[in-house]
Structure 1
């Protein structure tokens, strides 16, 4: 069977993906542009943790589909929890800070980052939602992410699970590159803001706001390794009726669907006429 890492590598144009991010960042001409981007990116990024946790739960309940042949005891042959643990590895970081062991989520860090950007540029909090609304298209984009992670979904097929694992691989693979590009951009073009965020905290979150960017420049690589391991264990112990070609095709389809979501985000995150300071 084709190696999933090799198949994924053949399915993505990294230069094209990076150009998408770089062009969007280079289009930010003023504080309103940057605030608009940060607002949408923190919300967009914050949607994935719940999807990862939900997908891990879905997989965990599928022992009948993922089994090993080393025992004749049915109750001891399921390996779904092993696959789920590799998916859930990303959620462990998302819901707790590994350095301080504080129960501070990455979503909270993203919120603190946004608040810090607003305070640096002296944006009025009370009128923010009216100045920078999240439109219906953006809401649909978030719905697409939830659907890719099978949330909510009452009837989940084996096709769905493999596609969701491919989507998860895509999210981890490209997030690493995105955050490194964003980190370099902010340090180069907004050094004052970066320094401000490196010291900015809130009463609810004692961890400096810039940690939201800096920690994502390295943890995503670890998350990606476990996303690959989840797929590899799933492929090795799949006990269903789908062919090897079919499960690989569904995984690649899920991966490519993340590329579509990424492209849709960078299109939607452009400034709208109501976004002004």
Structure 2
């Protein structure tokens, strides 16, 4: 039995509204090659922690295995099911640490290839790229906050369920983010700018001693007209909650509310992440169609 439905999400969150800041950020970034690089630098940096965050949460659940018990099992040592719950979360960490279609490369390396390709397209010097690598305080704070939201607390049911909801939001929103990024940057502008460069000049880059697809990191997570691994990871996150409900005695609605508290917490972080990236790109971009100060009026 599933304790989460599409309706239960739609009643709480306006996903089309959440998509608007992602789309706006992509369009502002596309107005100048350096803005596009800045956008991808911030986005790849934030996502570089994803595998470790997920592994941390799976570990916290696994260390709490006696919280999740098969009540129909009469032998105590045969009844704990915490690792079964943890495995559904950890599935995302497996993909992040070694992509099965790209020679086992971590997604961080694949993201670096995408960032390098954009830097090459914009003809950015190494010095210029390193300048953009300086992490602003707002992003450092968001990364710290996200790490806290992901970690859970071994032995604390409410915090674990909260973090499972936090994780589910990161996967569901990422599925929408990547498809939007692919749609706007590669599909809608396929005959100009970076998309044309990808198709005609540089489909791969050399990184970490090998040749890596310049756009695979985006496409494997989600692409225009087709979901990627993020959708699978969200399905696993939802399955983890269903198992948690199955192995607890609290009413399902109680665990659902804790789950949605975590989900909403990540939604807030995601919105602030893209709002700040959008402002930075607009402030950098000499060809911006509107000043940054009115982007969020």
Bigger Cα displacement from structure 2, 131-140 vs 76-85 = 131-140
Among 209, 212, 215, the alignment partner of 1:207 is 212
Q: CA deviation at 1:274?
A: 8.4
Distance in 2 (alpha carbons) for counterparts of 1:181 and 1:273? 19
Identify the structure with the greater strand proportion: 2
Question: Gaps (5+ residues) in structure 1?
Answer: none
Distance change in 2, residues 1:209/1:273 (3 Å): closer
Would the aligned equivalents of 1:150 and 1:156 in 2 still touch at CA under 8 Å? no
SS at match of 2:280: coil
Render the CA deviation track for 1:6-37: whole Å, top value 9, x for unaligned.
Answer: 42332221110111111111222211211110
Give the aligned partner of residue 48 of structure 1.
Answer: 50
Number of residue pairs the alignment of both structures matches: 272
Kindly state the Cα deviation for residue 191 of structure 1 after the two structures are TM-superposed: 1.9
More displaced stretch, 133-142 vs 91-100: 91-100
How far the C-alpha of 1:80 sits from its partner, in A, is: 0.7
Q: Pick closer, same or farther for the CA change 1:81–1:197 going to 2, 3 Å.
A: farther
Q: How does 1:156-235 map to 2 (within 5 A)?
A: 157-187=156-186, 188-189=188-189, 190-195=194-199, 196=201, 198-217=203-222, 218-235=228-245
CA drift of 1:272 comes to 6.5
- Residue in 1 that maps onto 2:263: 255
Work out the CA distance in 2 between the residues paired with 1:212 and 1:62: 33
Give distance in 2, aligned partners of 1:19 and 1:163.
26
Shift of the 2–192 alpha-carbon distance from structure 1 to 2, 3 Å rule, reads closer
CA contact (8 A) 1:68 1:78 kept: yes
Kindly tell me: are residues 274 and 7 of structure 1, through their superposed partners in 2, closer, same or farther at Cα, counting changes over 3 Å? closer
Q: Give a deviation string over 1:33-68, Cα, whole Å, max 9, x none.
A: 111101001111222211111111111111221000
* TM-score normalised by L of structure 2: 0.84
SS of corresponding position for 1:99 = coil
Structure 2 SS opposite 1:214: helix
1:63 aligned to 62, 65, 74, which one? Answer: 65
Tell me the TM-score normalised to structure 1 length. 0.90
SS of match in other structure, 2:64: coil
Q: CA deviation at 1:260?
A: 0.3
In structure 2, how many angstroms separate the alpha carbons of the residues matched to 1:135 and 1:11? Answer: 32
